[in-house]
Amino acid sequence: MQRNQWKTASEQLLSHWRRSGITHVPTGKPESIPSATEWLELNENSVFEDNDGYANNNATNGGVANDNATNDGAANSDTSTAVVIPASVQTHSISPSPLTTQVARPVGAVSDFVQGNWNTPSLDFVARQAAFQELNEQVMACRKCEDIVCRRQRTVFGAGPTTARIVMFGEAPGADEDRTGEPFVGAAGQLLDKILIASSLKRDEVYIMNSLKCRPPNNRTPVDSEIDNCRPFFESQLETIQPDYIVCWGAIAVRAVLKSTESVGRLRGKFHSYRGAKVMVTYHPAYLLRNPDAKKLTWEDMKMLMREIGIKVPGSA
């Protein structure tokens, strides 16, 4: 692992902990570590002692090797990708955000949900980061969609914590996303932010991604072959995150995740399933900008999601 990769992973782990109320990295000494930089400096010798990769020596580092036995079954037997996590933090698992603590679903909710399974064991945090980095490099090099690659400026991989319990799944990048490389940053993205805030969710607590990683020319609707071209990428992302919930924003997201051509109107209002996740369907924010009357339907959908994950719905008892 390179120094900057370790620092990025440390910052994201600390950020995730902060949302769970843990503000410092616990240590065996009275002092705890408040920042990724200090954490990095403390562990620099042990983590980077072999220069080209992760140190992996329990005896000398007092750390715990990141193998299948110690990290909830992560498929990470390749020693070139093993990493030493300081022993002092091994006992602290990544906690779900208090905002998304799961509770029992309401009795009688109409649902097509059938509990499925993810295809692979859950990865630990560092393995997720490494998987996403490798996948993103493949996306940036991808040229499968001939009509798209010659006009794209940037690929748009996705954004958010790899440990998110909720994935917001959209259609394809637009002009703003193509320019910035970030998903949902234009007018539709601003509306999504408002919807999330109204739902007591924060943008940095959910993972946001699209069916396509590149902008179709003139924002045209993606065709099925393009969705299929990009399927290995978005399915790998979902398999890596293994969220509890996926929100499909619009018909293209439905086609990608549920492989259904049913309308949003027929699919919304109940949960569907994708592997181990419950899938909610609602209207795309861009559609809502053009059809403001549909906003109340999306708000009903978001309230269904809030009730499902235990967030108090405004105005409810």
Helix (H, G, I), strand (E, B) or coil at 232: helix
Residue 144 or 295: the one with the smaller Cβ distance to ligand SF4 is 144
Nearest to 235 by CA among 206, 214, 258: 258
Provide the minimum distance between the beta carbon of 247 and ligand SF4 in the complex, in angstroms, as a whole number.
Answer: 21
Provide the minimum distance between the beta carbon of 212 and ligand SF4 in the complex, in angstroms, as a whole number.
Answer: 4
Structure tokens at 112: 């097509």
Residue 86 or 174: the one with the smaller Cβ distance to ligand SF4 is 174
Contacts of 212 by beta carbon, 8 Å cutoff, 6+ apart? 145, 148, 171, 172, 173, 222, 226, 227, 230
Residue 143 or 296: the one with the smaller Cβ distance to ligand SF4 is 143
Residues of this chain that bind ligand SF4 (CB under 6 A)? 139, 142-145, 148-149, 155, 212-214, 226, 229-230, 233
- What's the rounded Cα separation, in Å, for the pair 246 and 242? 10
Structure tokens at 163: 């440990």
Residue 143 or 266: the one with the smaller Cβ distance to ligand SF4 is 143
String of DSSP letters for 256-307: HHT---S-HHHHTTSEEEETTEEEEEE--HHHHHH-GGGHHHHHHHHHHHHH
Structure tokens at 18: 């902060």
Residue 15 or 225: the one with the smaller Cβ distance to ligand SF4 is 225
Q: Burial of 303 by CB count in 10 Å (0-12 exposed, 13-18 middle, 19+ buried)?
A: middle
Provide the minimum distance between the beta carbon of 203 and ligand SF4 in the complex, in angstroms, as a whole number.
Answer: 23
Provide the minimum distance between the beta carbon of 143 and ligand SF4 in the complex, in angstroms, as a whole number.
Answer: 6
Provide the minimum distance between the beta carbon of 88 and ligand SF4 in the complex, in angstroms, as a whole number.
Answer: 40
